[in-house]
Amino acid sequence: MPATSRAFAFASGGRLAYVGGMNIDTEDLLERFCRYVRIDTRSDPHTGLTPSTPGQWDLLRLLEAELKALGAEEVELTGHGYVLATIPATTRRQGVPTLAWLAHVDTATELPGGAKPIVHRNYDGRPIVLPDDPTQVLTVETIPHLREAIGDDIITASGTTLLGADDKAGVAAIVAATRHLLRHPEIPHGRIRVCFNPDEEIGHGLRTLPLERLGAEVGYTLDSEARGEVDDETFSADAAVVEIRGVAAHPGWAKDVMVNALRLAARFIAALPQARSPERTADREGFIHPNEIRGTSERATVRLILRDFELEGLAESRRLVEQAAAAVQAAEPGARLEVTFHEQYRNMRYWLDRDPRSVEYALEAIRRTGLTPFRHRIRGGTDGSQLTARGLPTPNLFCGMHQVHSQREWVSLQDMSLAAQMLIQLVRIWEERTPGSLAT
């Protein structure tokens, strides 16, 4: 039997996951996860609110109640939609750092949430056809990770919504680990802070949460995919907004008078280098991505996101956006184009390299869970990107979600259980490796 099978097995019915001599109640985890994904928590960048949508409040209030019921301490729901709670330390060792576990409750803007979760028990490798839209099909030929999950219990949506595993799989794994530690005070660990936050998908995330209120020295987000994955490098990111003001006129006698802002918006986008688009880039290549056009013939707004692993590449993307806008302006002097940039987040590698413990301990925790860990750079960002830049080192860890931001999103129940077990091993490692003396 391979090492992973020795460390991770299921009793009949999938009730308990045994890893490293401890267990996670997987059926409780499954019930919670399905409860969470039924709530539509899609975020909205246009409301100006935090959280940006009422559905997020619904899930946040539910999580507040669940953490209180589990016996967590200092449970609160802040006015900006952060659920905070404490798992008290059980160690006698002095000086153990306070860790934070974090996951976001919102789902992506592209598709509705409010999933109808379907549990495919003991997945047999055949195509999964989603019933509410039979054109949405999951196969092992097109989704390599699905082949690795044969024999697992797979959860999908029904075909017309997101599942919401990004990031409710992370939420559920954290709740499962919290439940386990509170039921097993014999496991030595330091103080742990739990945080569930809104609006990660629209870049707002933890922006309005003071670090002193979180009260941790090291953080971990659970917002990544494949089992064993540790993300210690992300894109650096900026947002760009191009405001275009044309000249209004009645279309019946607009000749030589009208300057159509929408046409200029299209001309601006066409002027951007195609080779630097998401459709043409991979690996360490950055991109410029126009993701929204709004307006009328008189006024139009183009919103873009700029991504690159290196700050020099990000600066070059800014230059290219300005160059494209200047070319349109020069060709149409009757219009007015204004470009503004906004910093979103920076590559967490710049800070994590200074103190590698947060990453090294995560890799060791995954090994203790019976998996092979691997480090990964993500072509995106996490709440940990902002937290790390603000002074809280926060790598990103797997929770089993796949095919995110699509109707074909899925997660393995076993992977969520492994993620919960990884968290338990992680707090044990921080306790073991703290050089402080034992309290008498």
Arithmetic mean of pLDDT, 185-197? 97
pLDDT band at 15; cut points 50, 70, 90: very low
Encode pLDDT of 245-290 as tens digits. Answer: 999 999 999 999 999 999 999 999 999 999 999 999 999 999 999 9
Arithmetic mean of pLDDT, 81-85? 98
Encode pLDDT of 131-147 as tens digits. Answer: 999 999 999 999 999 99
Token pair listed for 88: 């008290």
Burial 175-193 (b: 16+ CB within 10 A, else e): bbbbbbbbeeeebebbbbb
Q: Please choose, from the candidates 394, 303, 296, the residue with its C-alpha nearest in 3D space to the C-alpha of residue 345.
A: 394
What's the fold here for domain 236-345? Answer: Alpha-Beta Plaits (3.30.70)
**Residue 321 contacts by C-beta under 8 Å, 6 or more apart in sequence?**
240, 242, 272, 288, 304, 306, 339, 341
Q: Are 155 and 119 in contact (CB under 8 A)?
A: yes
Q: Is residue 12 over pLDDT 50?
A: no
pLDDT band at 11; cut points 50, 70, 90: very low
Arithmetic mean of pLDDT, 320-343? 97
Instruction: Give the pLDDT score at 23.
Output: 85
Token pair listed for 410: 């899925």
Instruction: Give the pLDDT score at 22.
Output: 59
Q: Would residue 223 show up in a list of annotated catalytic residues for this protein?
A: no
Catalytic residue among 66, 106, 225, 232: 106
Least confident of 2-6, 129-133, 190-194, 372-376: 2-6
Q: What number does CATH give the domain 3-234+347-432?
A: 3.40.630.10
Same CATH topology for 3-234+347-432 and 236-345? no
Least confident of 10-14, 180-184, 409-413: 10-14
Q: Would residue 200 show up in a list of annotated catalytic residues for this protein?
A: yes
> CA-to-CA distance for 264 and 299, rounded, in angstroms?
10
Least confident of 6-15, 210-219, 291-300, 359-368: 6-15
Residue in this structure with the two tokens 């076993």, named with its chain if needed = 414
Catalytic residue among 66, 152, 199, 200: 200
Angle at 378 between CA 375 and CA 383, to 5 degrees: 105
Query: What residues does each domain of the chain span?
Result: 3-234+347-432, 236-345
Encode pLDDT of 404-418 as tens digits. Answer: 999 999 999 999 999
Cβ neighbours of 66 (radius 10 Å): 19
Instruction: Give the pLDDT score at 13.
Output: 37
Instruction: Give the pLDDT score at 52.
Output: 96
Q: Is residue 49 over pLDDT 70?
A: yes
Least confident of 9-23, 206-220, 347-361, 365-379: 9-23
Q: Is residue 439 over pLDDT 60?
A: no
Token pair listed for 388: 């790390």
